Structure 1
Amino acid sequence: MKMKMKNLTAAELIKVTKDELVKTGFTNLTLKGIERVWVNLEKYLHDNDFNYFSLDLGMAFLKERYHITGASNLSPTNQLRLRAIQLLADFQFHQRIVIRRKQKQYEFAQPFETIFTEFMNFRKNVGISNTTLESNIIYLERFSQYLFNHGINHEPEINIEHIHGFIQSSSAFYSTSTIYCTCCLLRVLFRYLFDQKVITEDLSTAVPSIKCSKKSKIPSAYSQEEIRQLLQCVDRGNPKGKRDYAMLLIAIRLGMRASDICKLTFDNLKWESNTIEFKQNKTGHTIILPLLNDVGKAVIDYIKYARPAVETNKVFLRLCAPIGRLQAPTLHSIVTHYMNKAGIFIPKGKKHGPHALRHSLASALLHNNTPMPVISEVLGHADSQSTSTYLKIDTLNLRKYALDVPSIKVVLIGGII
């Protein structure tokens, strides 16, 4: 397929790319702006005796025609011109329209750039997931900057004081779980540096041990009144509101994780049996949940009157071009938006995303004296021990086991208590 795309002439590539833009919901106004750039591109290629498109030729065209030499500090018009070239290059290589997002770029302090990059490549090669690697880069950047700011320019100069100083200073700004993960990474880093003979002493044993148990945390749950306020503030008179309401209901009524909601396909919706059947992204286990009446109605309302008409099996989609399935972080932003809109008080440190809605469902089930094995099955927990953590938020039942505070006898001696 890629070879076929590369064999297309520039005119043919422009045509198939335009067809894809129409399918993914680009507006006519945006298409007109992109097509103006493509018309000028075709003229540039013809005048220079080129029949085929490449990204290098596209960038040369932008430089000559519009004096665009990079992606920084561009006017909206020039951003659209650059995007027109990127769309052709993306579709030529990937056969799809790529969603481009600005992401923060993390950089290691210059003295440690080479060895830390090699370490990250080592982590990648041993099969560490991309999500974990992204976190690792953040932790390493902080560590490298700390060392550089304290006058350390070579790995052999690192000692126990630097390690402890970094952990202590980080503790003032980051959560216990973040510090725990940072320490775990530093141990792996120092073992790697020692094995590669970059340092002569294995400093992994010098990294402090941080206690961080998930069981010690109290899940973030919201009351049923707060959940009601959350749902009531969603405006279902527009496509976005219909989509958001359906996703919120699934999270609230069924306790599904954000990643599972965003990955739902039409094949997962079993209308004939009124169930939702899917493989959990986290555990890989298949789970069957009831397609409750209000959830089903909300999903149907979204599909019939709000879902973009594009060829994809995914249920929940972006509403802006290029149209594709929603990502879990977007659902987190949606939940947070409506919590703020509903005026729900969110104390410092309390979670306020889809997982908090999952916790709230567990809290409501406990309040209704639902047996723990049933709650485990609803939440898709492979181990009932994972569910037991929700006992901490069942305050009504916990009060039954509260101990009386013993009375204190006060003895007066010479007028003094």
Structure 2
Amino acid sequence: MKYLVHHDAVLAQPPEGPLVPYLESFAVWVSEQGYTACSLRSKVRTAAGFSKWLEHNGVGIRRIRAEHVTAYLRYRARIYRSKNGAQTTLESLLHFLRSNQIAPAEQASERLRSPIELCLQDYVTYLREVRALAEGTIITYVPFVRAFLVECFRDGKVTLSCLCARDVLRFVRHHAHHLRPGRAKNMTNALRSFLRYASCRGDVALDLAAAVPVVPNWSMPDIPRAIAPDQTRRLLASIDRRTAVGRRDYAILLLLARLGLRAGEVVALELEDIDWTEGCLTIRSCNGLHNELPLPTDVGTAIAAYLRNGRPSSSCRRVFLRARAPITGFTSSAAVANVVRHSLRRAGIDAPTGGAHQFRHGFATDMLRHGASLDEIGQLLGHNCPQSTTIYAKVDIKALRKLAVPWPGGKR
């Protein structure tokens, strides 16, 4: 006797176990993420097998944990040769159960965490809630601070009051010469941030942040690597806008080229950020601020074409979605960089780099050529600090030659 779970998923026999009441809603949830009927059937069968195993091992719905998934996968590996995406399916099943409060959220056991990890956890909370730093900055700082604490305390008790200037200097001197100037500067910034945090907590009496040495780093050593205007035109012309993916990629590339957005800003763009009546965009910058920009006609037309005839049906509010299941927003700026890299490769364009930031540089340098001031450029790019914009004041030798005054007396 067959058992109908979903119109695209039929089981050979009635399912058993604590997950039976939720198999249909899980199948609907999977279907809404854009998976094919074949993938949906496979995922439902895996969930039904897991449910039967839970029943056999006496595990109720409120007791399901990640270790049960691991144990079931080991059991399943003895029966089936191919994993067939079982681990991914069960991880998504756990996410579904927890997000709907069917199964309890996993509680990390603090007694299993080392003193260093507990210290880092408090530091990260401080960076998020007190300093309101961007996640990218936190991700950059934490590994350096972890390495510093490991060198100072090993795996023992973390006693910040025992730190001294000698510990700070020894760490910087040992690691700085292994790092590039930019990374070394990140390391010293991270140490200063952590030591100021320790001082705010009252764990450190002295101002150890002042003991962190300055790493020599020549400011703005290179001319920004900007994609040339003709390369941008060739790239945009090469996109096949007859396909859904092509319409998506064309809109993304136009946003990069016409507005100089960062890749992360394109990823974070949501449907509510587009004001079609006023013709403007609200950009969510990496520093947590919102910047309102005008929406050029060609950019708006490209986005509208994607939304009408390319964007998959999804409850996700992000403007740009993945083309393959699970249908959701891009997880990181790397997805936009991949769009740029693949588009450049298909068009056969030898661009300065393979990333998205070259369009931002191209946008700024083109504005500079047309007489825009650095303040105007910085405002459009969403720079908080004027120094961030001064990099575009640098010129290449060819441009400088055009402005050079002839030598008195001419050639000899």
Normalised by the length of structure 2, the TM-score is 0.72
Report the alpha carbon displacement of residue 308 of structure 1 after superposing the two structures with TM: 0.9
The residue matched to 1:12 in structure 2 has which SS?
A: helix
Report the alpha carbon displacement of residue 25 of structure 1 after superposing the two structures with TM: 0.7
Match of 1:166 among 171, 175, 179: 175
- Confirm or deny: 8 A CA contact 2:337 2:356 kept in the other structure: yes
The reply to whether residue 298 of structure 1 matches residue 302 of structure 2 is: yes
Report the alpha carbon displacement of residue 324 of structure 1 after superposing the two structures with TM: 1.1
Report 1:20-39 matches (<5 A). Answer: 20-39=29-48
Report 1:306-325 matches (<5 A). Answer: 306-325=310-329
How far apart, in 2, do the equivalents of 1:193 and 1:264 lie?
A: 36
- Confirm or deny: 8 A CA contact 1:239 1:305 kept in the other structure: yes
- Provide closer, same or farther for how the CA distance between residues 184 and 79 of structure 1 changes in structure 2, counting only shifts above 3 A: farther
Report the alpha carbon displacement of residue 394 of structure 1 after superposing the two structures with TM: 7.4
- Confirm or deny: 8 A CA contact 2:273 2:283 kept in the other structure: yes
How many corresponding residue pairs?
366
The residue matched to 1:286 in structure 2 has which SS?
A: strand
Partner of 1:361: 363
Partner of 2:108: none
- Confirm or deny: 8 A CA contact 2:196 2:209 kept in the other structure: yes
The reply to whether residue 248 of structure 1 matches residue 253 of structure 2 is: yes
Deviations 1:44-85 (A, max 9, x none): 3445566636235544444444449xxxxx97x325222232
**Higher RCO by CA contacts (8 Å cutoff, separation 6 or greater):** 1
The reply to whether residue 41 of structure 1 matches residue 43 of structure 2 is: no
Report 1:148-159 matches (<5 A). Answer: none
Report the alpha carbon displacement of residue 194 of structure 1 after superposing the two structures with TM: 10
The reply to whether residue 120 of structure 1 matches residue 120 of structure 2 is: yes
How far apart, in 2, do the equivalents of 1:185 and 1:381 lie?
A: 22
- Provide closer, same or farther for how the CA distance between residues 213 and 282 of structure 1 changes in structure 2, counting only shifts above 3 A: farther
The residue matched to 1:126 in structure 2 has which SS?
A: helix
- List alignment gaps of at least 5 residues for structure 1: 1-7, 69-73, 97-112, 149-154, 411-417
- List alignment gaps of at least 5 residues for structure 2: 1-16, 102-112, 154-162
The residue matched to 2:293 in structure 1 has which SS?
A: strand
The residue matched to 1:78 in structure 2 has which SS?
A: coil
Report the alpha carbon displacement of residue 90 of structure 1 after superposing the two structures with TM: 0.9
The reply to whether residue 269 of structure 1 matches residue 274 of structure 2 is: yes
The percentage of counterpart residues that share the same residue type is 24
- Confirm or deny: 8 A CA contact 1:13 1:88 kept in the other structure: no
- Confirm or deny: 8 A CA contact 2:116 2:150 kept in the other structure: no
- Provide closer, same or farther for how the CA distance between residues 338 and 405 of structure 1 changes in structure 2, counting only shifts above 3 A: farther
Partner of 1:18: 27
Deviations 1:86-106 (A, max 9, x none): 22211111249xxxxxxxxxx
Q: CA RMSD in A?
A: 4.2
- Confirm or deny: 8 A CA contact 1:164 1:207 kept in the other structure: no
- Confirm or deny: 8 A CA contact 2:127 2:138 kept in the other structure: no
| Deviation larger for 383-392 or 351-360 | 383-392
Report the alpha carbon displacement of residue 212 of structure 1 after superposing the two structures with TM: 3.9
How far apart, in 2, do the equivalents of 1:193 and 1:312 lie?
A: 40
Report the alpha carbon displacement of residue 178 of structure 1 after superposing the two structures with TM: 1.0
Report the alpha carbon displacement of residue 282 of structure 1 after superposing the two structures with TM: 3.1
